[in-house]
Structure 1
Amino acid sequence: MGIAAVAFLKRDFTGQILYRTITFLIINLYLAIAAYFAATNIYIGLIINFITIFMVTYVYMNDYKHPTSYTFLMAYIFMVCMKINIDELPLRLLAVSMGVILIILPQIILNRKQFEKKSTNIIKNIVKEILEQIDDLIEGKYEEGKSIKINQKIRSLIICINEKINNSFKKNKHEVNMFNVAICLSRLNIIINHMSKYKMDKEIRDEYLNNLKLQIINIDKFNDEVESFEIINKNIDDFANKYRKLGKKINLVDESIYVLKIFLKRVSVNKESDNTISSKIYKTVNMPKRFNMVESMKENFNIKSLRCRYSIKLAMAISILIFLGNIINIEHKAWVILSAYIVLQPYQEDGVVKAKKRFIGVTIGAIIFFVTFSLIKDYVPVIVILLFSFTGYFYFTDYSKKVIMTTILSLSSISLVENIDKLSLSRFAFVSIGIVIGLLFNNYFLPYQIEDSIKELKHKYKKNTKAILKEIHLIMEDKHDTGKLMSLSMERNKIENKLILNYNKLNKKDLEKFVYEENMKMSDEKYTLLKHFYKNSSIK
């Protein structure tokens, strides 16, 4: 659980810390109890293992981020392979419960301010690049490619927000504010892009752009607490009054005035702003229950979806391996099972890459262990080697190097009671067997490739577009669910991000522009959402 705690620090669970704590506690207790009963009878265990692995993987699996189930199932495999009697079960339940505390406590201590720091840095970078875009437009050097890169960063900001709140907007006012900042920045990026193609007097356009730039700089200063709210507000009012007449003729100018006023309110952290805007928004916005959780599971419950296919494949492979390991009674069978589990990646291509790196890592690790313990065991305490391996595991990012560290770590921990030569050879042999079994399952049982994921994601992308357009239509009829529209927008960003990532894996670089153009077409959905907030606030 110590490794899990450090691994989970890459994710931000602080947005729903109580929900995460209760959920993780229930899962850990269930896995501990299931592992105990699965070990009592190998035939009943086959069924229990399949159901448990399928359920945990299916509930926590998606195609957008590293599944939470990974660490829990690693622990489950260890518990199944380490049989205990009924008298030891309470101690195991206590241990896994304490493990949850080890996961949650570092989140509270180290990740408490992580979202604010990360989102603020992203916003500052976006603002800086938007200002550069304005300069380029004035100087006649505007490039749409830079606008596409800005769009990438805006998407990263929205994904960061979604990670924090996990699709639940209720009682997350700061995150909703950041979401609206992202919308405003997206609109400014689009306005500048449209302005580059809009035919108007260059002198008037350049004067307007310079004034627009000054307002963005002032807002950035306010965000850094260099300027007061009153001064920035007055500057924007002056800008609005100056260009209101021009805005009646040119929609882009009118929209920029509106976006600036909203942007200022969104980044405002004073109590007055919070009371006059956020409280009113939450009285008028219908907040949905855990958006898309059940719907998403129903939608993916078919053999063509990644979630269903991967869950079945993983459950089948691991439950069969545990069953065979118990029948044959292999020593260190966990090495075989864990190796197969790690190679069983959602994508077939990733499984091959993982297999190669794991084989290289375990080979080098076994050699280093054998040489180290044969030559310098008497001079270097085992605790030093364990500490070095544990530190190295988290220091290195390359998977092969991580496997080297885990190989040394696992072999060192049991070297005091077993023969070193036998240990090195056994580790190499069992891990190699697990890799081969994992590759066979990956390639021949319900294979799923990156191309399959792209097709599935494109299908979801089209469904998402239809759902967003439907919500926009409902807004016009005042029958809307604004929380759902916000969640759909975040879902769209996750799909886009994964599509681009998968295209890059296949060395296809033509998708980013397509996504940017689609965002240009769909930007009205975000603007409509912002307009709804505007109507239900005190902004004038």
Structure 2
Amino acid sequence: MINKVINKYNINVYSMLKHGTVATITMFGVSMLFGIKNIMLAFPIALTSVVLGRQNLQVKTASKILRIIFIDTFIVVFAFISSLNIYLGIIINFIAIFLIMYNMFSPYDLTFYKPFIMLYVFTGYARINLNELPLRVLSIIFGVLVIVFCNMIAKANEKSKLGNTVNTSLVIIKNQLNNIIINNLDEELIKKCSTIMRELVYKIYITRHKKYLTTNLGRIQFNIYINIEYFNLYLRNIHLEYKNNNIKKNDILNIISIIDSILQYSDYGISIEELENEINLFEFINKNKSKVLNEISNTIKSLEISLKELKQLSHRDINKVYEEWEKEKIESFKEAFRKGMRFNFSIRMAVTLTIALFIGEKLGYYKVIWAIITIMSVIQPYYEYTLKKIKERIIGNVIGILFTGVFINIVNNSLLTILILILSLYLLYGFKDYSKISLFASIASICISSLTENIHVLLFYRIIYVIAGVVIAIIVNKNIFPYKLREGMNEIIAKIDKLNTKLINYSITILNGTENPNKVRDIIIHSTLLCGKLDIRNLNFNDEKIKRIVNINNEFVIQVGYRVLR
């Protein structure tokens, strides 16, 4: 029964338990240890847990945690300084919000900035005096330590994560080979495999640290990515050769058999030695049969080498930085700091939130923070995404207001209200759909406030401020540094084109022995992730031209990378 509900509503139980626990512990822990004024910090802290969950905290953990504590402390202190003088606060707020937005904006995770900007808004609104500032800083440190503790408990085995991605891709390749046998190559399967492999590339990307490109595990993951994606794209050649009777059905069945063996090894069915023997035999049989089979043999052999390296990699070394690979400087500061989606979005948020905070403080209206939170939550980098968020927030808040209003009026019991609060804190992190997130966020927010305030007044103000926030967000996105999805897609295409030029130039110098191959690796990572971004943005348009750009670029990057790096 429970599993049916989980599957039906696509509930992420792991995320719900992990981040819900962070929110609950932080909320009650902070309120008891550091005072009720800091209770709202549970929301940005829990959201920090969510965004860090999409990063790799296992790489240089102490360094990353100290960095988060430093950034959060900086935010809290700046918010405090801005609250000392309403007019000086205008300048401080604008600068601080712009810096937070611009510096905490992740090119491949559009939500990474959210906990930091939320923390600034919350701490700026909930004013404290100088004597209370140390407690607020301590509450932040407490929250970050809760995140670390929950991450240690829920720490996943990185090797198994790698296996899930690889296994799924290999199963798709196996299915495609079966299709080829009946002369029915499915292009959608090739695209599906490429999409899954991009997830592996993102895992590699988030292992970078300072000047280093990746970790010991990331190095192996990168090699596996290149080989499996090359294999996936090379299936077109296999299909063509099969149609022309240059390779036989039995040859394809042998390839399928090897894939089955790799999957069996991944599931602990056979040893690495047994797998190696099978691959060596396959390589011996097919070495001089045909160019296509020889190419497949080489790819499978390279994959086997990576699997052996993974087997030999100890848990202690798995997340250590691989110092032989360094990052490539993809763009200069001048190139990065220019008018574009990131700059426009940062300016738009800085202007809007600065004005909203000033007006809210000047007028001093009750619970005006709800309007500011609405503005902060629904304004997105792209105009189209903002409209979508607005719609989802309205749906979530309407249901949340109705449910909470009816429940509290009927029950009118503080203990049950606290239980609903805790339940909503958990459910808040169980969904990807923003309307559901907004629903449980509104329930949690109203429940907290209802413990000390009149529920009818709260519901009235909630409705008014959500409407006000939505209206302001629409006006802002149309008039303050607007940026539409098409513009963003063109910006991504321009970046991909620039990377392709670099890839060609570097590849030539690498083949001539005058350049470091690391530059190509970093370009491949960025180009692949940018293609993924472009593909996602194109879901709004379903533009065939964009699809071709993604597919052609993906094949180009893999072909060049495979040839240059092998």
Query: In structure 2, what residue type is equivalent to 1:36?
Result: F
The aligned runs of 1:436-451 (5 Å cut-off) are 436-451=471-486
The answer to whether the aligner puts 1:13 opposite 2:60 as a matched pair is: no
Residue aligned with 2:147, SS: helix
Instruction: Say how many residue pairs are matched.
Output: 517
Q: How far has the Cα of 1:129 moved from its partner?
A: 1.8
1:164 and 1:171 map into 2 onto residues whose CA distance is 5
Q: Which residue of 1 aligns with 2:3?
A: none
1:527 is displaced (CA, Å) by 0.8
How far off its partner does 1:525 sit? 2.2
Give the aligned residue type for 1:20: K
Preserved CA contact (<8 Å) 1:127 1:216: yes
8 Å contact 1:157–1:182 — kept in the other structure? yes
After superposition, residues 365-384 of structure 1 pair within 5 angstroms as 365-378=400-413, 381-384=416-419
Q: 1:272 to 1:358 in 2, by over 3 A?
A: closer
Counterpart selection for 1:103 from 137, 142, 147: 147
CA distance in 2, matches of 1:379, 1:228: 59
* Cα pair distance change 1:216/1:168, threshold 3 Å: farther
Deviation at 1:43, TM superposition (A): 1.8
1:430 is matched with 465
Distance 1:434 1:97 in 2: 31
1:77 to partner: Cα distance: 0.5
Unmatched segments (≥5 aa) in structure 1: 532-540
1:264 paired with 2:304, answer yes
Alpha-carbon spacing, 1:160–1:505, altered in 2? closer, same or farther (3 Å) = farther
Aligned position for 1:402: 437
Once residues 385 and 217 of structure 1 are traced to their aligned partners in structure 2, the CA distance between those partners, rounded to angstroms, is 49
Q: What is aligned with 1:89?
A: 133
Answering whether residue 105 of structure 2 is matched by residue 69 of structure 1, we say no
**What's the offset of the Cα at 1:225?**
3.0
- The correspondence for 2:341, drawn from 300, 306, 330, is 306
Q: Is the 8 A contact 1:169 1:483 kept in 2?
A: no
Q: Report the Cα distance in structure 1 between the residues aligned to 2:431 and 2:197, rounded to whole angstroms.
A: 29
CA contact (8 A) 1:14 1:111 kept: no
- 1:33 equivalenced with 2:68 (yes/no): no
The question of whether the paired residues in 2 share the 8 Å contact of 1:454 and 1:499 is answered with yes
For 1:466 and 1:125, locate their aligned partners in 2 and report how far apart those are by CA, in whole Å.
32
CA displacement at 1:181 relative to structure 2: 1.1
1-structure distance, mates of 2:196, 2:311: 29
2:205 to 143, 162, 177: 162
2:393–2:435 Cα contact (<8 Å) kept: yes
Deviation at 1:435, TM superposition (A): 1.6
Structure 1 residue aligned with 2:26? none
Kindly provide the CA deviation profile for residues 271-306 of structure 1, in whole angstroms up to 9, marking residues without a partner as x. 7689xxx9xx968x4x325x448x365423112x11
Deviations 1:345-364 (A, max 9, x none): 11111111212222333333
In structure 2, distance between residues paired with 1:134 and 1:378: 62
Verify: 1:58 aligned to 2:94, yes or no. no
1:471: which partner in 2?
Answer: 506
Distance in 1 of aligned mates of 2:557 and 2:413? 68
**Aligned to 2:446, what secondary structure does the other structure show?**
helix
For 1:19, give the aligned amino acid: S
What is the deviation of 1:116?
A: 3.3
RMSD: 2.7
Residue 200 of structure 1 and its aligned partner are, at CA, apart by: 8.2
Is 1:334 equivalent to 2:351 in the alignment?
Answer: no
- 1:88 alignment partner AA: E
Q: What TM-score do the two structures reach when normalised by structure 1?
A: 0.88
The reply on whether 1:512 has 2:556 as its aligned counterpart is no
Distance apart, 1:166 and its partner CA: 6.6
Q: Distance in 1 between matches of 2:260 and 2:463?
A: 60
Partner AA of 1:8 in structure 2: V
2:91 and 2:434 map into 1 onto residues whose CA distance is: 32
* TM-score, normalising length: structure 2: 0.84
**Aligned-partner residue type, residue 302 of structure 1:** R
Q: Deviations over 1:324-375 (max 9, x none)?
A: 2222222222112111111211111111121222233333333333333333
Change (3 A) 1:167 1:486: farther
Distance apart, 1:145 and its partner CA: 3.1
Residue 69 of structure 1 aligns with an amino acid whose one-letter code is Y
1:386 equivalent in structure 2: 421
Aligned to 2:236: 193
Cα deviation 1:60-102 (Å, max 9, x = unaligned): 2244323321011111111001111111111111111122212
Once the two structures are TM-superposed, the CA of residue 396 in structure 1 deviates from its matched residue by 4.5
* TM-fit CA distance, 1:269: 4.7
Identity of matched residues, %: 24
Instruction: Determine the C-alpha separation between the residues in 1 that align with 2:418 and 2:312.
Output: 57
Alpha carbons of structure 1 residues 94 and 266: separation in structure 2 relative to 1, 3 Å: same
User: Deviations for 1:374-393, whole angstroms, at most 9, x for unmatched residues?
Assistant: 33205964322322332332
Q: 1:90 to 1:261 in 2, by over 3 A?
A: same
Cα distance in structure 1, aligned partners of 2:310 and 2:415: 58
Partner of 1:288: 326
| CA distances 1:13-65 after superposition (whole Å, capped 9, x unpaired) | 32422332122111101001101100001122111111111111111224432
Identify if the C-alpha distance between structure 1 residues 233 and 366 changes in structure 2 by more than 3 Å, giving closer, same or farther.
closer
